[in-house]
Amino acid sequence: TTFAGAALTAGSNYEYYVRAKCPDGSYSQWSGPKLFQLPLCNNACNFSFVMTDSYGDGWNGNTIDIRQKGVIIATLTGPTATDGTNPITVQVPLCSGIPYEVYWNPDGSYPTEVGLTVITPFGVTAYTKPPGTGSQDSLLFTGPTDCVPPTCPQPTALTASGATANSIQAAWTEAGTATTWEVIALPAGSPSPNTTPPTSGIITVTTNPNHVISSLSSDTNYDIYVRAVCSPTDSSYWTGPATHRTLPDYCAGDHFYDSGGATGNYSNNSNITTTICPSNPGDIVTIEFNEFNIENSYDFLTVYDGSSATGTPIGSFTGNLNGNLPGPFESSVPGGCITFVFESDGIVTAPGWDATVTCGPPPTCPRPTAVTISNITQTGAMIDWTEVGTATQWEIVIIPSGDPAPGANPPGIITTSIKPYTIPEGTLTPSTSYDVFVRAICSPTDKSNWSFRKKFTTKPVNDECSAATQAPVNDTQLCTLTTPGTVVGATASSEPNACGGTADDDVWYQFTATNVRHSIKLLNLNGSTTDLFHAVYSGTCGNLTQLYCSDPETSIAENLVVGQTYYIRV
């Protein structure tokens, strides 16, 4: 039945009721309500909305509304778990000449899995939301609705590639007959130029549908857009974005990061080669790590002296090395490069690394390299290095580990013509970490830069059984008398070890039994690990008998002989 009543508003929701008029003039009860919505228009055309889920279990309650003039034309609910990661396309009729909105509703879980692409009736991608972008309860996109084939069609197949530190190559396919285009590079995530017309940065391109966009910032993500210019008064809509990142300009100050950048973790299954070269052919490049933390024993960063992984291997590094950073690394010849190869497995990631890169002319007096520390004792050590030039005299500075690197004239300089140099006994403090720097004296007016920092730790006073620290014995069960200790700098002892733990960092204590039974406790543990073993011995150093081994920090030594000396190895 067609009923001509009051004028209704297009796109509005209504409900109607019906009742019967009986022959005797009476009426039935009303039946209803029945809901209906008037079309927003009569001249609609179908836009394609391509929905994806990166995990493959559906949108998990996420929904996206398609709206025109405040009216919800359709609600997208995404693929289902049955669809997996396959894209699902729905056609939504939109009214010509009325802008449409794509609004992401607030409900739903796992929003980072949601992906959406909008394609016009003429096959042009109007908008793309990759998984992991956008926010729930927000307007994602506003676009024009044009059901009439445009007189100036949008370019298609836009790509961005070939990045340098300050340029990106853009290329596209002309869909009509235009020979002039406009290209723009916007910081990634900027509003589309279709919705926010740009006021600057537009580049005009003629003849060939490609262009190298220059004067960009290094190590930056850009969204690239292009549109056709068919006449002075007729331009197409913008096509894009094609997103691409410029390369770092290390010599200009960009840091060398893992694939996660300054704040994120690196990716699983990485196999990335990075070659860092000086900008000027005669310069050298130096890379100094500020942080380094990758999965121990499974992920590796290998360093080569040269422009590829066929260069001379310098070292391979794994684990959390923030306490003993790799490098620094310096190219061996002017114009030379350093190459890094990073490989990660498929399970665990970590923060990765941050390194500072400097480039500059090679010094006339080259710095010593390959500083090594050996013959470490409680208060002394031997320092050696490789002389790169022809110097026969050097200066050495020894500072507490972690202190700032020495300047031009630091205090405490040791001048020597003896190589290797032995630090006299009694100079250093036991169980203490130091940093060593060496520089060459090429002439009275020409000294090298200081060598890169080399860290070492002196041994504790009780590193060996023969120097075991005397521990007092308490008369009661209260631990009023205690003996401080540390395993910092400790080395492996010659005494056989049948106890657990790692024997390369043990220290020794001794006590004289005053009872047949004594309690032994390790108290107030702190440091990189608090899981310590201790073993108790009878006998003398070089001829010890292990009585027992304890993983718990508290143990009971029984059947002791009063007056006899016993040894504790921690």
| Alpha carbons 184 and 202: distance in angstroms, whole number | 5
> Does the fold of domain 369-458 match that of domain 250-360?
no
| Alpha carbons 82 and 59: distance in angstroms, whole number | 12
CB 272 within 8 A of CB 342: yes
CB 496 within 8 A of CB 542: no
Q: What is the pLDDT of residue 35?
A: 82
pLDDT value at 529 more than 70: no
CB 486 within 8 A of CB 509: no
> Percent of the chain having pLDDT more than 70?
98
**Domain spans in the chain, listed from the N-terminal domain onward:** 156-245, 250-360, 369-458, 465-569
Q: What is the pLDDT of residue 144?
A: 87
Confidence of residue 194 (pLDDT cuts 50, 70, 90): confident
SS3 content of the chain, % helix, strand, coil (to 5): 5, 40, 55
Residue type, 535: A
Q: What is the pLDDT of residue 39?
A: 76
pLDDT value at 8 more than 90: no
Q: What is the pLDDT of residue 6?
A: 64
pLDDT value at 342 more than 70: yes
What mean pLDDT comes out for the span 76-84?
A: 95
pLDDT value at 503 more than 70: no
Lowest mean pLDDT among 33-47, 366-380, 437-451: 33-47
Q: What is the pLDDT of residue 4?
A: 63
| Alpha carbons 193 and 182: distance in angstroms, whole number | 12
pLDDT value at 504 more than 70: no
> Percent of the chain having pLDDT more than 90?
75
Half-sphere exposure of 330 (CA within 13 A, CB side): 21
Q: What is the pLDDT of residue 555?
A: 94
| Per-residue pLDDT tens digits for 205-254 | 998 999 999 999 999 999 999 999 999 999 998 998 899 999 999 999 99
Residue 40 or 538, more confident: 538
What residues does 396 pair with on adjacent strands?
Answer: 414, 438
pLDDT value at 16 more than 90: no
User: 369-458, what's its fold?
Assistant: Immunoglobulin-like (2.60.40)
| Alpha carbons 427 and 425: distance in angstroms, whole number | 6
Residue 122 or 177, more confident: 177
User: 250-360, what's its fold?
Assistant: Jelly Rolls (2.60.120)
CATH number of 156-245: 2.60.40.10
| Alpha carbons 409 and 443: distance in angstroms, whole number | 16
| Per-residue pLDDT tens digits for 211-224 | 999 999 999 999 99
Cis peptide bond upstream of 87, omega within 30: no
